[in-house]
Amino acid sequence: MLKGILSVLLVLVTLSSAIGKPEKTTPKKEKRIPQTLSRGWGDQLIWAQTYEEALFWSRSKNKPLMVIFHLEDCPHSQSLKKAFAEDKDIQKLADEDFVILNLVYETTDKHLSPDGQYVPRILFVDPSMTVRADITGRYSNRLYAYEPADMKLLLSNMQRALKFLKTEL
Amino acid sequence: MLKGILSVLLVLVTLSSAIGKPEKTTPKKEKRIPQTLSRGWGDQLIWAQTYEEALFWSRSKNKPLMVIFHLEDCPHSQSLKKAFAEDKDIQKLADEDFVILNLVYETTDKHLSPDGQYVPRILFVDPSMTVRADITGRYSNRLYAYEPADMKLLLSNMQRALKFLKTEL
């Protein structure tokens, strides 16, 4: 059973050892802070937990989905997260008009990595369930990467994502 | 793109309308409490976010995975959650020897619903990525359901899950 996803898992294992051990080794004795779904990207926003859930919400609410791939121990992810969480326009638009998901693990959907798996990267998915590969940042080698200085571009890309490919399914 | 999972999503839509609307309608003005990954099943435990992540951890740590399917507005889920969170033996064993995941949305893996999709239900997955369909509760009509009175059975099932199908891959 489950052998179909074995290859995907092997990819993940390879990937993970390449990017360093994820941090799950909280000391036993200390009281742990409960993990949040926001992971610091906006504690006041409502986050989907999984890609399946996010697609369901996107479709049923007719809102575009924004997927943020990041790693907690990646400095580029951390600085982008800070800028993202502090940008009131982005937070407001994300709250009102988007389904949002942040992931530290890749999904099995290859459409979410049009030019490879790297962090941080941000992809938009239309409520028609089409990944908006046309909505890119400013870096030609990593089309879906953003830096803290790119918040205006990200905001305008969010506004672009709001113009649906199909208004009615 | 992504049309392959459309049928799955349609199942989810049907399912969701059957089991009642998920609660995501927090009033705008109130300060929201950040969502936690534990969702009350054990704030001091370390939870995986997605099934893919959980499988990765199970494999790389060689620990069995426990998947809890529940719904936040389901009274049976709520009472099981309370018993689960308050049971020190279960919490300790889950913390030390399991990879744990709680989901309010179904995954696309049909092996996780051997006798249908219902909540609450608890499935174990071996580090060899085999769903332990043999580890069941006491209800013949819903094999993977547990009630608050079943905590001893659940604990012994967790101990059973620790006896791996294969000790080495």
Any domain includes A46: no
Whether B50 sits inside 8 A of A49 (CB atoms) is: yes
B65 beta partners: B99, B125
The tokens for B57 are 């951890």
Would you say residue B12 has pLDDT above 50? no
pTM of the shown model = 0.81
The answer to whether B23 faces chain A, any CB pair under 8 Å, is no
Cβ pair B65, B99 in contact under 8 A = yes
Would you say residue B154 has pLDDT above 70? yes
Cβ pair B144, B122 in contact under 8 A = yes
Predicted local confidence at residue B29, as pLDDT: 60
Predicted local confidence at residue A165, as pLDDT: 82
Whether A107 sits inside 8 A of B52 (CB atoms) is: yes
Q: Within a 13 Å sphere around the CA of B161, how many CA atoms are in the beta-carbon half?
A: 34
Predicted local confidence at residue B164, as pLDDT: 87
Would you say residue B110 has pLDDT above 60? yes
Task: Give the residue carrying structure tokens 């809102």.
Answer: A63
Across B164-169, average pLDDT = 65
> How many of the other CB atoms lie within 10 Å of CB of B28?
8
Any domain includes A57: yes
* Dist. CA B98–CA B46, nearest whole Å: 10
Predicted local confidence at residue A22, as pLDDT: 45
What percent of chain B has pLDDT above 70? 80
Any domain includes A137: yes
Across B48-70, average pLDDT = 97
Find, among B12, B5, B69, the residue nearest to B41 by Cα. Answer: B69
The DSSP annotation for chain B comes to --GGGHHHHHHHHHHHHHH--------SSSPPPPPBSSTTS-TTS-B-SSHHHHHHHHHHHT--EEEEE--TT-HHHHHHHHHHHH-HHHHHHHHHH-EEEEESS--S-GGG-TT---SSEEEEE-TTS-B-TT---S-SSSTT---GGGHHHHHHHHHHHTS-S-S--
Any domain includes A24: no
The tokens for A83 are 């800028």
Predicted local confidence at residue B95, as pLDDT: 98
Any domain includes B9: no
Predicted local confidence at residue A52, as pLDDT: 95
Any domain includes A14: no
Question: What mean pLDDT, rounded, does chain B reach?
Answer: 87
Any domain includes B20: no
d(CA B74, nearest CA chain A) in Å: 18
DSSP A34: P
Per-position pLDDT tens, chain A of length 169 = 454 454 444 444 444 444 444 444 545 567 889 999 999 999 999 999 999 999 999 999 999 999 999 999 999 999 999 999 999 999 999 999 999 999 999 999 999 999 999 999 999 999 999 999 999 999 999 999 999 999 999 999 999 999 988 655 4
CATH number of the structural domain spanning residue B106? 3.40.30.10
DSSP A101: E
Pairing of strands B65-69, B99-103: parallel
Domain extent, residue B68, equals 51-162
The answer for B 114-133 residues in CB contact with A (under 8 A) is 125, 129-131
Any domain includes B21: no
Across B29-53, average pLDDT = 93
The tally of domains found in chain B comes to: 1
Find, among A98, A132, A160, the residue nearest to B2 by Cα. Answer: A132
Predicted local confidence at residue A123, as pLDDT: 98
Across B74-85, average pLDDT = 98
